[in-house]
Structure 1
Amino acid sequence: MSDSLFSLPDPIAIPVQGQDAAYPVGRIFCVGRNYAAHAAEMGHEVDREAPFYFTKSAPNAVLTGATVPYPPGTENFHYEMELAVAIGKPVFRASSAQAWEAVYAYGCALDMTRRDLQIRERNKQRPWDLGKDLEAGAVFAPLTSATDWSPQDGTRIHLSVNGDIRQDATLSELIWKIDEIISHLSGYYHLRPGDLILTGTPAGVGSVKAGDVIEGGIDGLQPIQLKLGGAT
């Protein structure tokens, strides 16, 4: 094989609680409108026939604690607090039991969104990439092994901006549960280690500005933080 013309930055690897080795980020799948209250605040009804997805690029992911610039091209930059599911074994057309067995770990994540661009493109029936797949647009906290933590209906998921609570819900509000998402998505992709699934955000999303500090958590998992610097 010939030498490459230039080198590309390596995607991040997410620390795992109690492990020396980190989890390398491969593909990032995101579930849209998976909390009914969030769908309603965005002006949509929930599609209960099947979950739907968008993706984020692995090189656009960062780790918790980062300070990132306010992104270009937007005047309405939103946070979305999410539960991330890390796949740990290959799975295709998974049953519910196989879906659970494929989960390696869980963690807190942020799906950062240029909401004005997402809405503009959505209204024109165009892809959401400009709104969703942006640099530093996927943020991950350290993962916790599935042997040490599992999602429960009463588990709290929350987010604050500069100390003010903006999102506060429980995982019971997930429309499509973890095994249902993996079973469905694995009917279209051969899921493999390195794949991460962001499972959706509760109601209460909103805009942030340069200088804001975003902090989120899910009971029992490592918290997440992101600080916004000035515009690029």
Structure 2
Amino acid sequence: MATKIVRYSTEGGPAQWGVVHSDAIAPLRGIYQSTRELLLQGQVDIREAEQAKGSIALQGVRVLSPITVQQQFLCQGINYESHVRESGLDLRQFPFNTLFTKASSSLCGAHDAIVRPSHVRLLDYEIELGVVLARDINSPQTVNANALHEYLCGVTIINDISARDVQLPQTQFYKGKSYRTFGPAGPFLVLLSAAEWKRWPELHMTLKVNGVVRQNAMCGEMIHQPAATLTEFSGMHDLQAGDVIATGTPAGCAARAPSKAIAWIAKHFLSDQAKWQAFINAGQKNPAYLQPGDELRLAIRTDDGLIDLGEQVNKIVGA
């Protein structure tokens, strides 16, 4: 049975960790300053809390990001064919895995407000499955798809919030995606057994804005899947227990490619500056972009409910 780990605080107190039993938390005895410390030092503590009864009401605490700021926030782009198509890209031109990072300071809780900076007008959402490292990796590894449990401890929900009017005109993923609160994570870090890891493709992602479904896809639709991505990351740089990889988003984002006719005109008759200004002007008329007051609801679970990552509920506020 998957174990739900929650990081939380009560009445403004320090962050604590616990295991969720239905609607109550069994707190861990130890104090762990980071997700890495929890995973490397807290396994006995976790097992004891799995056997205990919940003593703290989940509804009475502030749920924090289960990924702490000490961890790397790694990401994949254009990793679902449906999103590639809606972005106006040709999949044949992207045979490689697109990897980038977000600032870990962008992480926030699953129920925290998402702050739209005052200069941003094209604020977008991206539901993603976050896979979390179980151990440190300090050398190149060839990861087998049947051995994910040897490298990954669990999964969480990530919303890769993006300022498209920064990211795209400036071609800067990091800059457009790293503002504070642009990385809601959780509510839980769901630890999976070896058998449960085999079910990750069955995880069903849904994102709603103001009650309307915008994104709806299966995680198994990924182009570059976790084993291959872990292999590639480990060949480049060190990874630590608790680091998270956001594995890309499916179709349904607010940002869409212009029609072929408009794209042709822009390419042949507009300067780059004029082209991107036209993109921003058109985007400001697109009601799909997020506005202050909008509510986001994200969920990832198997259709039988046996693996359930919980629900994110965040509201957009102005800076």
TM interval, shorter chain, is: 0.7 to 0.9
AA of the residue aligned to 2:312: I
C-alpha distance in structure 2 between counterparts of 1:14 and 1:189, whole Å: 30
C-alpha distance in structure 1 between counterparts of 2:94 and 2:149, whole Å: 21
2:298 to 190, 193, 216: 216
What does residue 41 of structure 1 align with? 86
C-alpha distance in structure 2 between counterparts of 1:213 and 1:192, whole Å: 33
What does residue 157 of structure 2 align with? 108
AA of the residue aligned to 1:218: I
What does residue 225 of structure 1 align with? 313
Mapping for residues 46-61 of structure 1, pairs under 5 Å: 46=91, 49-61=95-107
2:76 to 31, 45, 50: 31
Contact (CA 8 Å) 2:149, 2:193: kept in 1 or not?
no
C-alpha distance in structure 2 between counterparts of 1:42 and 1:140, whole Å: 25
Are residues 1:68 and 2:117 paired? no
| 1:70-116 deviation per Cα after TM superposition (whole angstroms, max 9, x unaligned) | 22321110000000011120123222246541101101110000012
Q: Describe the SS at the equivalent of 2:299.
A: strand
**1:68, distance to aligned residue in structure 2 (A):** 2.9
Say which structure is richer in helix.
Answer: 2
> Given the superposition, is the C-alpha separation of residues 171 and 51 from structure 1 closer, same or farther in structure 2, using an over 3 Å criterion?
same
Superposed CA RMSD in Å reads 2.3
C-alpha distance in structure 2 between counterparts of 1:186 and 1:147, whole Å: 22
Q: Describe the SS at the equivalent of 1:120.
A: coil
Structure 2: gaps of 5 or more residues: 1-13, 21-26, 36-67, 255-288, 302-307
Contact (CA 8 Å) 1:78, 1:113: kept in 2 or not?
yes
> Given the superposition, is the C-alpha separation of residues 129 and 49 from structure 1 closer, same or farther in structure 2, using an over 3 Å criterion?
same
Q: Which moved more, 1:44-53 or 1:152-161?
A: 44-53
Q: Describe the SS at the equivalent of 1:94.
A: coil
Mapping for residues 189-200 of structure 1, pairs under 5 Å: 189-200=237-248
Are residues 1:119 and 2:168 paired? yes
Are residues 1:175 and 2:248 paired? no
Contact (CA 8 Å) 2:103, 2:174: kept in 1 or not?
no
C-alpha distance in structure 2 between counterparts of 1:146 and 1:27, whole Å: 21
**1:17, distance to aligned residue in structure 2 (A):** 4.4
> Given the superposition, is the C-alpha separation of residues 112 and 13 from structure 1 closer, same or farther in structure 2, using an over 3 Å criterion?
farther
Runs of 4+ in 1 over 4 A off after TM superposition: 12-19
TM-score (norm: length of structure 2)? 0.63
What does residue 10 of structure 2 align with? none
What does residue 4 of structure 1 align with? none
1:130 to 159, 172, 175: 175
**1:154, distance to aligned residue in structure 2 (A):** 3.1
TM-score (norm: length of structure 1)? 0.85
Higher-Rg structure is 2
| 1:35-84 deviation per Cα after TM superposition (whole angstroms, max 9, x unaligned) | 01101111212355331211111122101000132223211100000000
AA of the residue aligned to 1:56: K
> Given the superposition, is the C-alpha separation of residues 135 and 165 from structure 1 closer, same or farther in structure 2, using an over 3 Å criterion?
same
| 1:154-194 deviation per Cα after TM superposition (whole angstroms, max 9, x unaligned) | 32111000110000011121001111111111111111113
* Equivalences, count: 216
AA of the residue aligned to 2:81: A
Aligned-residue identity in percent: 24
Structure 1: gaps of 5 or more residues: 1-11
Contact (CA 8 Å) 1:36, 1:45: kept in 2 or not?
no
Mapping for residues 145-184 of structure 1, pairs under 5 Å: 145-147=191-193, 149-150=196-197, 151-184=199-232
| 1:9-58 deviation per Cα after TM superposition (whole angstroms, max 9, x unaligned) | xxx97967457367234110010100011011112123553312111111
Q: Which moved more, 1:35-44 or 1:45-54?
A: 45-54
C-alpha distance in structure 1 between counterparts of 2:236 and 2:148, whole Å: 14
Q: Describe the SS at the equivalent of 1:172.
A: helix
C-alpha distance in structure 2 between counterparts of 1:194 and 1:155, whole Å: 21
Q: Describe the SS at the equivalent of 2:158.
A: strand
